[in-house]
Amino acid sequence: MALYGLAVCGGKSLRMGTDKSQLQYFGITQADRVINLLSPLCDEVFISCNRTQSSIFENKKTLADLPEFEDIGPMAALLSAFKTYPNADFLIAGCDYPFLTADALSDFLSAIQKGTIAAAFYNSEEKYEPLLAWYAQDAAPLLLERFERGHHSLQHFLREINAEKYIPVSEKVMLSVDSPEAYDQVKAALNVHHEN
């Protein structure tokens, strides 16, 4: 069974005001960092992006949102991936989690039970993190059926199927940065941390 990684970079980044996949916390873009985190765990890794971003990621394996799924949010990444590679499971990670670690992803993968359709990181607000998740190929027809009914929320999908919940050792790995203020705060925190 192939496991493909998807570095999800296709958001509009409206609150941030700049493409989140190109932000840097560790001297490389977040897109490259997520590829580095996924690569040891997956057979292949792709950058999921919208069509206007494709030029940013020259020389990288990209999976642009297919036209029929454009502008529906993160579900577009997953539906496009399954349509392009129907025989693979997908481990996906968004580009806006600066504290995500290889250990957290590895622990998550090893915790997934056999026969599961989907599993995702789960936070203290009792919400799934749909972009820190694993989706089996068996999820593809279920997602497509919801898409055809106009239901585009991955959060609702994960709830409806009672997806497996993964609670990481540190909730910090699920911190999503999507505003300039949050970016500045995380950068400052990381710099302090590196100097110690």
pLDDT one-digit tens code per residue, 78-91: 999 999 999 999 99
65 known member of a binding site = yes
Whether 10 has a binding-site annotation, put simply, is yes
17 is in an annotated binding site: no
Q: Is 9 annotated as a binding residue?
A: yes
Torsion of Cα atoms, 169 then 112 then 66 then 15, to 10°: -20
Q: How far is CA 22 from CA 9, 58, 100, in A?
A: 9, 13, 16
Establish whether 71 is an annotated binding residue: no
Tell me whether residue 42 is annotated as binding.
no
Determine which of 8-17, 26-35, 145-154 has the lowest per-residue pLDDT on average.
Answer: 8-17
Could you tell me the pLDDT band of residue 110, with boundaries at 50, 70 and 90?
A: very high
> Quick one: average pLDDT of 174-184?
85
Per-residue pLDDT at 187 exceeds 80: yes
User: For residue 33, what pLDDT is reported?
Assistant: 94
Within a 10 A sphere around the Cβ of 137, how many other Cβ atoms?
Answer: 16
Question: How confident is residue 179, by pLDDT bands cut at 50, 70 and 90?
Answer: confident
pLDDT over 70 (residue 16): no
